[in-house]
Amino acid sequence: MNMVTVPHPEAQLSDDLLRRLDVPGPRYTSYPTADRFVEAFGAAEYRQALRQRAQGAVVGGAPPLSLYVHIPFCESLCYYCACNKIITKHKSRGAEYLELLAQEVDLHTAMLGTHEPVSQLHLGGGSPTFLSDDELAGLMDRLRRSFRVLPNAEISIEVDPRTASRERLRALAAMGFNRVSFGVQDFDADVQAAVHRIQSYESVRDLIAEARALRFESINADLIYGLPRQTPESFRRTIAQVAELRPTRIALYAYAHLPQRFKPQRRIHAEDLPSVEQRIRMLGDALAGFLGNGYVYIGMDHFALPGDALAVAKRQGRLHRNFQGYTTQPDCDLIGLGVSSIGRVGATYSQNAKTLDEYRDALAVGEFPVVRGLALTRDDLLRRAVIMALMCQGRVEYESIEVAYLVNMRETFAAEFERLRPLAEAGLVEIGEQAIQVTATGWFFVRAIAMVFDRHLQADRQRERFSRII
Ligand code: SF4
């Protein structure tokens, strides 16, 4: 049996365990997950949540906000894409979209005022760098006039290396961006051709060097394994090249081939995809390669250099998780702006219209473009606390949950403790008298451990089992 020796933390992952790791599952950037949102939650409910936040701010001062702005445009289509995007070469579409964003911002400031503190701001897509420097600067100006962006705020942007240059990074730094994320995916020319995303190693190398020179506090590289024409040999080269470039963070995603659901993926030939064995090898090589090169495993496919804020937060038990993934920012309300954006205000989640037409129509009548969402129940809040403690601290102290939610952990989660047992026997988790503790090996499976506490998922499984029986 092949074993991957993972130097930090001390853990050994057999092929069998790696196979269990290479399965799709919720990423728990929220709980309940976005696929549970309902259409009964709309603009009126979102207004109510904002109103409550505004009242809270008057009474005791609400915590700072996180802002997410979705820029849906991309110039060309990557065949593996599962994002909400609009492919266009017409740069003029950016200006019209910015106008719509401004209207959405105004709807918010009409309810919240213009002094809401912001500690985190992220531009994602699509490709935010579809917009010109002037357009991006205009957007940042607008946001700064509408919110009080705090001096130490994390301000991040996703950068498509094909639409960036050293000058562009300098412009982004001047706009106040202090975190940057590059979509790398794979450096192999064959793989790049198969996914229709051509970008040279040299261009990414130069951009990362420039970002470092400009003192971006965090430089992330996204990679994907399981892409067409990828082989363990070719991916090992990419892993080595990326490790050598020393981005402060690396996100390694598994490609899920779902051509029925994501139309672009129909251009990928199934026969070009690596076998399960090859995927397992690539995952094992990536874990060993990055951890062997001094990266720390943060959790859920994320690695960071020991000096990066995420790694520091992990060591100090201060990790948090929101729609942008792991973060050092304490839980805060999130305002999602733009097509398909997701927000979290108080005990609610909300999502904007996914098409530009729907989004525009709502704004045209002065309404928030929220089309679905969820008001969390007490049970949702309780389970969210447990799932986030597992995902972020790798430990659930019974007392802290019991005091906060007035429950008895063992009684309330009797079935969950039962379901945890096989995971404990596999050495992934320890069920103690005072706490559930994720083990060093278990960190790699933290999603599977969290899934035990996902009521919606377990209900689905029971329904499936039931329908199989009948
Ligand atoms: S993968 Fe990213 S850059 Fe490529 S089409 Fe999708 S959103 Fe655009």
Q: Which residue's CA is the closest to the ligand 1 atom numbered 7?
A: 126
- Predicted local confidence at residue 81, as pLDDT: 95
**pLDDT digit string (tens) for 421-439?**
999 998 999 999 999 999 9
Final residue of a domain: which of 327, 342, 357? 327
**pLDDT digit string (tens) for 316-327?**
989 999 888 898
Mean pLDDT of 186-204: 97
| CA trace torsion 85, 90, 96, 97 (10° rounding) | 20
Test site for ligand 1: of 79, 81, 123, most ligand atoms within 8 A of the Cβ:
81
Distance 74 CA to ligand 1 centre (A): 6
Mean pLDDT of 275-292: 91
Q: Are residues 399 and 313 in the same domain?
A: no
User: At residue 331, does pLDDT exceed 70?
Assistant: yes
**pLDDT digit string (tens) for 202-232?**
999 999 999 999 999 999 999 999 999 999 9
Q: Are residues 321 and 396 in the same domain?
A: no
Q: Are residues 255 and 383 in the same domain?
A: no
Q: Which residues touch 215 (CB under 8 Å, ≥6 apart)?
A: 173
* CA–CA distances in Å: residue 254 to residues 13, 97, 257, 303, 394: 17, 31, 10, 14, 22
Test site for ligand 1: of 123, 127, 255, 267, most ligand atoms within 8 A of the Cβ:
127
Q: Are residues 249 and 114 in the same domain?
A: yes
Final residue of a domain: which of 327, 343, 361? 327
Q: Is residue 269 part of a domain?
A: yes
User: At residue 459, does pLDDT exceed 90?
Assistant: no
Ligand 1, residue 74: give the atom nearest the CA: 8
Confidence label for 10 from pLDDT (cuts 50, 70 and 90): very low
Tokens for 443, please give them.
């960190």
Look-up of token digits 């709502």: 362
Distance 159 CA to ligand 1 centre (A): 11
Q: Residue 319, Cα to own-chain centre: how many angstroms?
A: 14
Q: Is residue 357 part of a domain?
A: no
Q: Are residues 281 and 386 in the same domain?
A: no
Ligand 1, residue 160: give the atom nearest the CA: 3
Q: Is residue 196 part of a domain?
A: yes
Confidence label for 1 from pLDDT (cuts 50, 70 and 90): very low
Mean pLDDT of 411-421: 96
User: At residue 470, does pLDDT exceed 60?
Assistant: no
Q: Which residues touch 388 (CB under 8 Å, ≥6 apart)?
A: 28, 31, 320, 321
Question: Are residues 125 and 72 in contact, defined by beta-carbon separation less than 8 angstroms?
Answer: yes
Mean pLDDT of 441-467: 83
Q: Is residue 370 part of a domain?
A: no
User: At residue 9, does pLDDT exceed 50?
Assistant: no
Q: Is residue 389 part of a domain?
A: yes
Question: Are residues 61 and 360 in contact, defined by beta-carbon separation less than 8 angstroms?
Answer: no
User: At residue 98, does pLDDT exceed 90?
Assistant: yes
Q: Which residue's CA is the closest to the ligand 1 atom numbered 1?
A: 81
**pLDDT digit string (tens) for 127-173?**
999 999 999 999 999 999 999 999 999 999 999 999 899 999 999 99
Sign of the four-CA dihedral 365, 370, 372, 373: negative
Kindly state the percentage of the chain with pLDDT values over 70: 95
Q: Is residue 345 part of a domain?
A: no
- Predicted local confidence at residue 59, as pLDDT: 56
Distance in angstroms (rounded) separating the CA atoms of residues 154 and 324: 12
Q: Are residues 135 and 68 in the same domain?
A: yes
Distance in angstroms (rounded) separating the CA atoms of residues 421 and 419: 5
Mean pLDDT of 384-410: 95
Q: CB within 6 Å of ligand 1 — which residues?
A: 74, 77-78, 81, 83, 85, 125-127, 160
- The amino acid at 363: L
User: At residue 43, does pLDDT exceed 70?
Assistant: yes
Question: Are residues 221 and 249 in contact, defined by beta-carbon separation less than 8 angstroms?
Answer: yes
Average pLDDT for the chain: 92
Q: Are residues 130 and 266 in the same domain?
A: yes
Q: Are residues 291 and 397 in the same domain?
A: no
Distance 262 CA to ligand 1 centre (A): 12
Ligand 1, residue 125: give the atom nearest the CA: 7
Q: Which residue's CA is the closest to the ligand 1 atom numbered 2?
A: 126
Confidence label for 465 from pLDDT (cuts 50, 70 and 90): low
Q: Is residue 254 part of a domain?
A: yes
Confidence label for 56 from pLDDT (cuts 50, 70 and 90): confident
- Residue 200 belongs to what domain range? 3-327
Question: Which three-class secondary structure state does DSSP give residue 270?
Answer: helix
Question: Are residues 445 and 428 in contact, defined by beta-carbon separation less than 8 angstroms?
Answer: yes
Backbone angles phi, psi at 138, to 5 degrees: -65, -40
Q: Which of 44-48, 283-287, 360-364 has the lowest mean pLDDT?
A: 283-287
User: At residue 342, does pLDDT exceed 90?
Assistant: yes
Which residues make beta-bridge pairs with 38?
373
Test site for ligand 1: of 71, 78, 123, 195, most ligand atoms within 8 A of the Cβ:
78
- Predicted local confidence at residue 231, as pLDDT: 97
Distance 37 CA to ligand 1 centre (A): 24
Q: Which residue's CA is the closest to the ligand 1 atom numbered 4?
A: 78
325: left (phi over 0), alpha (psi -120 to 50) or beta: left
Test site for ligand 1: of 77, 88, 182, most ligand atoms within 8 A of the Cβ:
77
Q: Which residue's CA is the closest to the ligand 1 atom numbered 6?
A: 81
Q: Is residue 462 part of a domain?
A: yes
Distance 85 CA to ligand 1 centre (A): 7
Confidence label for 466 from pLDDT (cuts 50, 70 and 90): low
Q: Which carries the bigger pLDDT value, residue 47 or residue 442? A: 47
Q: Are residues 294 and 438 in the same domain?
A: no
Q: Are residues 392 and 453 in the same domain?
A: yes
Final residue of a domain: which of 259, 294, 327? 327
Q: Are residues 269 and 382 in the same domain?
A: no
Question: Which three-class secondary structure state does DSSP give residue 155?
Answer: strand
Total structural domains within the chain: 2
Q: Which residues touch 401 (CB under 8 Å, ≥6 apart)?
A: 382, 385, 386, 389, 407, 409
Ligand 1, residue 85: give the atom nearest the CA: 7
**Which CATH number is 400's domain given?**
1.10.10.920
* CA–CA distances in Å: residue 10 to residues 253, 265, 297, 392, 439: 22, 37, 11, 19, 10
Confidence label for 57 from pLDDT (cuts 50, 70 and 90): low
**Which CATH number is 184's domain given?**
3.80.30.20
Distance 256 CA to ligand 1 centre (A): 15
Q: Are residues 317 and 437 in the same domain?
A: no
Mean pLDDT of 277-286: 90
- Predicted local confidence at residue 12, as pLDDT: 65
